[in-house]
Amino acid sequence: MGKQRKTWAPELKEQIVLAVLRGEQSVAELARQHGAAESLIHKWRTQFPEAGRARLVGDHVDHGVKALEQENERLKSLLGEKELSLYIAKKAWGL
């Protein structure tokens, strides 16, 4: 079996990055403390100023949300129409 990737909570990423930026601890110390690769912490540190906390949460959170909400509304409407058609058909057949 392959090695599973560890998922990092956005809050923990933020704490680690801020500790590095404030100079409270080195990247190496934080990597050892949290069991993370130094390169990963460097990546987070680079991403943080670019887009702040939203970037640490992950890009996939924001992309497509609006489209999914619209699709959800469309499907709800379609389901309502189908339920109404079924209700009318049952009444017509006397069920």
Residues above pLDDT 70, as percent of the chain: 83
Q: How far apart are CA 45 and CA 14, in angstroms?
A: 9
Q: Scanning the structure block, which residue is given the tokens 């079924």?
A: 86
- Mean of the pLDDT values across residues 12-26? 94
- Axis-axis angle for helices 27-34, 10-22 (nearest 10): 150
pLDDT at 50 over 60: yes
Cβ atoms 10, 56 nearer than 8 A = yes
Res 27: pLDDT: 96
Would you say residue 2 has pLDDT above 70? no
Mean pLDDT in residue range 39-59: 78
The pTM of the full predicted model, rounded to 2 decimals, is: 0.52
List the structure tokens of 7: 């998922």
Which of the 8 DSSP states describes residue 40?
Answer: H
Tell me what pLDDT residue 66 has. Answer: 79
